[in-house]
Structure 1
Amino acid sequence: MAQRRPRGELRIIGGTWRSRRIRFADTEVRPTPDRVRQTTFDWLAPRIRGARVLDLCAGSGAMGLEALSRGATEAVFVDAGRAQITAIQAALELLQAGARAVAVQQDALQWLQGASGRKPFDIAFVDPPYAAGLWARLLPSLADCMATDHRLYIEWPRAEEPEFGVALQWHRTSRAAAVSYGLASFADGTQPDVEGGTACPE
């Protein structure tokens, strides 16, 4: 009998659940590193409390869990993997997240295509599997799901900037090891409003 693969573990780094350790399905999952999460949530600090957040291609659920820990009102986790969603559901139960969160096992693009008319999100985390090249398919479909004053966290491999498939206004960007990441919003014809980062990915 094939030996079952071990499950990974991540640590929530801030907020109510700070230092709590959560297990995730260690199968094709690439949790956002602690350093990147810390920087991202420092950027989001003025916006996170009371926000409704979407963790798309959630994987380990690290970003959505961190958002809930830091005061987000609601979080929706979407991932196609059964093991990933089962692990996120277990984490939410362990943390007693209650009605503040829901984890949905579904292809992210299919979920977005059925999201019309739902309550909009203030913040979305978009970190799809790098090899799948899904940014240009997900981001255009995500636009109708976001509140007017929103932020998108987008992560991509440092070695190659992908096609995003939509005009973005970049507010902050950074790099860490092999990862590039930034906060953006869907462009509305205005000039980029840079808040201490580069105006676009390099």
Structure 2
Amino acid sequence: MKEKKGEIRIISGKWKGKKILFNLSSDLRPTPDRAKETLFNWLGQDLKNLDCLDLFSGTGALGLEALSRGARKITFVEKKKSYLQEIKKIISDMGEIKKCDFFLEDCVKWVENFQLEGAYDLVFIDPPFKKNLIYKLLENLIQKKILVDKGRIYFEYEKVLELKLPGTVTILKEKNLGKKSYVLAEITYPSS
């Protein structure tokens, strides 16, 4: 796939206004600024003490925005090596490498193999739309208890796809922009 230079912009936080060049290929669709602004307005501007998971990281735009807004830790999971290397270089150049973990792996497999309960407060999921992976990922996140109770999940999906959610997932906010839907949801675990 042919790559071209693209730009992602940090909207707020300590790197507010910073523009980051990223090699974009036709299989990569970074979250638009308008959707990022909406998401981070929903979450609140300050993400201090939150541990975040960025699945299907791509450009790392969501994880970078969370880091800029004070997140304690970001874990990036991406199966394309060149994307993950680029994210790692950007974060290294910003001097924040110690706050991040990087995994070169298929996101579905990574979640299936994850072992630490309650590791994350917030998960970003931006999968390839054509594969319709949201339900399977949410089920696995719940089964593995990867999020804390009342943990939040942000995901994007193409409106033409049917959205089916596991019973313990509650939609808090939803917005449609063009052909895409953007959702902030919360996971509640049943009492044991």
Q: TM-score, normalised by structure 1?
A: 0.85
Shift of 1:169: 0.6
Deviations 1:46-86 (A, max 9, x none): 76221000001111111010000001000001011111101
- 1:184 partner amino acid: A
Distance in 2 (CA, whole Å) between partners of 1:115 and 1:11 is 31
Secondary structure at 1:84 match in 2: helix
Listed as ranges, the matches of 1:18-97 within 5 Å are: 18-27=16-25, 28-45=27-44, 48-97=47-96
User: Are 1:23 and 1:91, in contact at CA under 8 Å, matched by a contact in 2?
Assistant: no
Find out whether 1:17 has 2:12 as its counterpart. Answer: no
Counterpart code for 2:128? P
What are the ranges of 5 or more consecutive residues in structure 1 without an aligned counterpart?
A: 190-202
Between the aligned residues of both structures, percent identity stands at 30
Q: CA RMSD in A?
A: 2.1
Q: Is the 8 A contact 1:15 1:69 kept in 2?
A: yes
- Where do residues 159-178 of structure 1 align in structure 2 (5 Å cutoff)? 159-164=160-165, 167-178=168-179
- AA in 1 matched with 2:18: R
The equivalent residue for 2:187 is 186
Gaps of 5+ in 2: none
1:152 paired with 2:150, answer no
Q: Do the aligned partners of residues 103 and 7 (structure 1) sit closer, same or farther apart at CA in structure 2, a change above 3 Å counting?
A: farther
Q: CA deviation at 1:18?
A: 0.9
Structure 1 residues 166, 39: closer, same or farther in 2, change over 3 A?
same
Shift of 1:128: 0.4
Asked whether the 8 Å contact 1:121–1:147 carries over to 2, the reply is: yes
Describe the superposition over 1:136-171 as per-residue Cα deviations: whole angstroms up to 9, x where unpaired.
Answer: 221111121001131100111123333345542111
The residue that corresponds to 1:200 in the other structure is none
Alignment-derived partner of residue 199 in structure 1: none
Cα distance in 2 between the residues matched to 1:4 and 1:136:
31
| Matched position secondary structure for 2:74 | strand
Aligned with 1:64: secondary structure?
helix
Opposite residue 52 of structure 2, the aligned amino acid is V
- TM-score (norm: length of structure 2): 0.89
What corresponds to 2:104 in structure 1? 105
How many angstroms apart in 2 are the aligned matches of 1:81 and 1:7? Answer: 17
d(CA) in 2 for partners of 1:142, 1:78? 14
**Higher alpha-carbon deviation: 107-116 or 120-129:** 107-116
Identify the range of structure 1 (19-28 vs 126-135) with the bigger mean alpha-carbon deviation.
19-28
More strand by share: 2
Q: Please name the residue that 1:135 is paired with.
A: 134
- How many residues get paired? 188
